[in-house]
Amino acid sequence: MSQEKHGGNLNQAVKEYGLEQEEIIDFSANINFLGPPSKVMEAIKDNLDQIVNYPDPNCIELKNGLAEQLGVKQEEIIIGNGAVELIYLLAKELQAQRALVLAPTFSEYGAAVKSVGANVEEFKLRKDDQFEIDVERLITRLAEVDLFFLCNPNNPTGKLITRAEIVEIIKAGQRYDTFIMVDEAFVDFLEEEVTVIDLVDQYDNLFVLRSLTKFFAIPGLRLGYGVSNSNLLEELEWGKAPWNCNFLAQLAGQIAIDDQEYITRTKEAIKREKEFLYRKLKGVADWKVYYPTANYILIDLSSLFITATELKDVLARRGILIRNCNTYTGLGEDFIRVAVKSRDENQILIANLIEIIGG
């Protein structure tokens, strides 16, 4: 079981700060602030009696819906109990000896490869370079490893690399016999097209990971999927636990991916509130606010008198949760991350930050 620390742990916050869960505004988890689609909630309520039956172990209806939308074959899709299950499943199947991860990035990549006894090497992203990924320098490192995890946009920095750059990385991986996992968990929030899902037929060293829980605001249901060549996925299907995806999660996924009105509304709302929150955060203090590509914003506190832990605690006592980035490699006590939320919630965050650190 993973011991990595993540945002969104409301139970811990309730106990630690003596809060009521209803009082909490959670900026620590990067979840769509619109909440789940109403069609999903209605379908779950209407189908609760179906939990007396086993779910489809192969998730055929959900796979068919995704395959149609993505333009891939059904056998090129695998469904996970959250995207994290598939990270661990891939690490177990590939049995890489040396894996490369960005630093900072999502911690579960390193945890997954360590769980199968592999060594984890880091490609350090530099604060002085605005945490931009130097693709040429990165490619030189691929020759030294069997597996590389790329989060695009990267979490927590929000930095994005282009589709053309990812193709360069995949091609280099082919030359060096290095497998490339591209995590596109936040790609649905983007305004530009960077996905490489359509390339899984061309490159047998590519696995693209997606999450359905962040965009559709259903993290409690745990639902993600991967897209790769059918030969690898056949092996992964044998390696995963049976009935890994429950009935309600499958149902929610099938309905959510077809809800075009919700998808359009989300993209518009995120774009609007992302720009608002970014602009207001920049005005709070003389600190570095990184421009967001997705639905979260990284902030550098190093010019201020307060650490990430101190700011997190002060805000938490006021019922506002932020992500302390001290568990990310290389960020220490200088960085926090906040999710983009509704206008009212964003204004509450800004007002409290101005009170605490001045503006």
Which CATH number is 10-37+260-357 given? Answer: 3.90.1150.10
pLDDT at 14: 73
pLDDT at 37: 98
* Pair 305, 356: CB distance under 8 Å: no
* Prediction pTM value: 0.95
339 Cβ contact partners less than 8 Å away, ≥ 6 residues apart: 7, 26, 27, 28, 29, 30, 31, 33, 295, 296, 297, 323
pLDDT at 187: 96
> How do residues 255-265 score in pLDDT, each as one tens digit?
999 999 999 99
Average pLDDT over residues 57-83: 97
- Reply yes or no: is the peptide bond before residue 156 cis, omega within 30 of 0: yes
pLDDT at 2: 43
Counting residues of the chain whose pLDDT is more than 70, the rounded percentage is: 97
Which ranges in the chain are annotated with CATH 3.90.1150.10?
Answer: 10-37+260-357
Counting residues of the chain whose pLDDT is more than 90, the rounded percentage is: 92
The model's confidence at residue 191, banded by pLDDT at 50, 70 and 90, is: confident
pLDDT at 22: 77
pLDDT at 189: 95
Average pLDDT over residues 167-189: 97
Of 283, 285, 325, which Cα lies nearest the Cα of 308? Answer: 325
Of 28, 4, 43, which Cα lies nearest the Cα of 259? Answer: 43
* pLDDT higher than threshold 50 for residue 34: yes
The model's confidence at residue 1, banded by pLDDT at 50, 70 and 90, is: very low
Fold classification of 38-256 is Aspartate Aminotransferase; domain 2 (3.40.640)
* pLDDT higher than threshold 60 for residue 8: no
Q: What is the mean pLDDT of the chain?
A: 94
Of 186, 346, 335, 336, which Cα lies nearest the Cα of 275? Answer: 346
Residue type, 251: L
* pLDDT higher than threshold 60 for residue 359: no
* Pairing outcome for strands 296-300 and 288-289: antiparallel
Which ranges in the chain are annotated with CATH 3.40.640.10?
Answer: 38-256
The model's confidence at residue 182, banded by pLDDT at 50, 70 and 90, is: very high
